[in-house]
Each structure stands twice: as C-alpha cells, then as structure tokens.
C-alpha cells in the first residue's frame, strides 16, 4: 500500500464477489469514510445521458455521477442488503459520501445498500451475494435438508410399520395353519374324541329340553284365558 494511502482506514481486497473495500482501522458509526466521485453527467446532454455503466450514481433527475474512473476507490464498495455504511447524498453540492452507520471493525468489508433500482437490474438476476442473502440461502438450504431428512425418516418409519404388519399377518397365518393341521390330525387320528361327543346324549337332551320349555308362552296363555 502506498504511504500516501496508509492513513486511510480502508484498503481494496478480495471479497466474495471479486474486489471490495475493507476496513483497516476501527471506523466509528457516523464517520464519513470515503467520497464517491467522478465526472458529473447531465441528462439534458444526449451524449452524457447515453453513458451506461454499473458505477452511475444518480444525484437528481438531471445529475448523475459517473463513478467508473479508477481514482474513485469508493466504486469498489459492494452492495449489501444489511450494510454497515450508507451513501450520504448531497444533491445541492452534487456530492456523495459513504458514511458508517455501524461501528466497523478492522477487516470488516464496507458495504452500503445500492438501492432498489440497482438491485432489481443487476443483483436480483444473478442472486445477491451479500452476507445477509448468503445467510438466508444457507438457512433455506439447511431447512430443505432437514425437511428431506424428516420425509425420509417418515417414509422409513412407514416402511417399517408395513413390514411389521406383514410379518404379524404371516405369523397369524402360520399359527392358524398350525391349528388347522393340529385339528385335522385330531379328527383323523383320534376318533374317540369325536365319538365321545356324539355319544354324549345328555348334552343333546339338555339342549333340546331347554328349547322346548314353553315357560313364558305358557304364562301368556294363562293370562289370556
């Protein structure tokens, strides 16, 4: 870094999106950090109104700063949706300063919000890479992962339940099959049991006798008479 720049509280460095401006000293909230400057373009002049680049800073309907010149170090400052600095616009003076809106620590990247128009035109199509948006994306990815895991575990639990049901059904069928076999064996192999029942006349008589007893009907007839 050249000696003439060393008193400045920032330096240009590598950032997530390419180059960025980083604090080299603590910068207190409210401090003017750097001026955003360049030739003033007059929208009333056709050739000036036709200039198009990513570093245009609109001051008023008429005046725009063309910040694309090399000397404008502030052009390295990247956009952030939750920035630590802001652009302080003085339309009458036709000047813009970047001012800290938070205490900034050495090593922190300096950011300001470029505004809705820039965001829509340049950042939304490629996806904003600022910390806040990266964090949001990370959170969304983590949530999607958790949801996939939840669904997978649910499916596994369901499959396990189904498998258990099938196993239980088979076990029941096996038991029933074994009983049938045992019964069949009993009928074929143990005639005495079968005959014993048939020969038990008492049981049959008792059942028939019960059914034939006209106790209630008899009582009704008595009342009618």
Which residues would be at the binding site for Zn ion (CB under 5 A)?
81, 128, 130, 133
Nearer to Zn ion, 110 or 130 (CB): 130
> How is residue 3 written in tokens?
């000696």
To Zn ion, the closest distance from the beta carbon of 21 in angstroms equals 17
3-state class of 19 per DSSP?
A: strand
Return the residue matching tokens 């649910």: 154
Residues with Cβ within 8 Å of 164's Cβ and at least 6 positions away in sequence, in order, are none
Alpha-carbon span 211 to 225, nearest angstrom: 24
The smaller minimum CB distance to Zn ion, of residues 65 and 128, is found at 128
d(CA 121, CA 54): 10
Q: Least distance from C-beta 16 to Zn ion, angstroms? A: 11
Nearer to Zn ion, 125 or 189 (CB): 125
**Please, what is the minimum distance in Å from the beta carbon of residue 116 to Zn ion?**
12
Contacts for 88-92: CB closer than 8 Å, 24+ residues apart: 88/32, 89/59, 91/59, 91/60, 91/63
> Contact, 87 vs 67, CB < 8 A?
no
| Shortest Å distance, C-beta 114 to Zn ion | 10
Q: How far is the CB of 128 from Zn ion (least distance, A)?
A: 3
Task: Using the minimum distance from each CB to Zn ion, give the nearer residue, 41 or 104.
Answer: 104
Q: Which is nearer to Zn ion, 16 or 158 (CB)?
A: 16
């Amino acid at each position: 870094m050249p000696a003439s720049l060393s008193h400045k509280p920032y330096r240009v460095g590598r950032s997530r999106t390419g180059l960025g401006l980083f604090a080299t000293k603590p910068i207190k909230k409210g401090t003017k950090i750097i001026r955003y400057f360049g030739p003033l373009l007059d929208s009333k002049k056709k050739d000036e109104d036709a200039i198009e680049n990513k570093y245009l800073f609109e001051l008023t309907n008429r005046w725009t700063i063309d910040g694309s010149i090399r000397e404008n170090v502030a052009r390295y400052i990247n956009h952030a949706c939750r920035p630590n600095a802001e652009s302080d616009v003085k339309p009458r003076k036709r000047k813009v300063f970047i001012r800290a809106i938070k205490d900034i620590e050495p090593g922190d990247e300096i950011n300001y919000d470029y505004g809705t128009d820039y965001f829509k035109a340049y950042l939304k199509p490629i996806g904003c890479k600022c910390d806040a948006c990266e964090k949001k994306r990370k959170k969304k990815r983590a949530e999607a992962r958790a949801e996939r895991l939840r669904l997978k575990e649910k499916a596994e639990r369901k499959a396990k339940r189904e498998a258990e049901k099938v196993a239980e059904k088979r076990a029941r069928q096996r038991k029933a099959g074994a009983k049938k076999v045992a019964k069949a064996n009993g009928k074929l192999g143990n005639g005495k049991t079968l005959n014993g029942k048939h020969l038990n006349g008492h049981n049959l008589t008792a059942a028939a006798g019960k059914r034939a007893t006209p106790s209630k009907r008899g009582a009704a007839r008595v009342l009618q008479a």
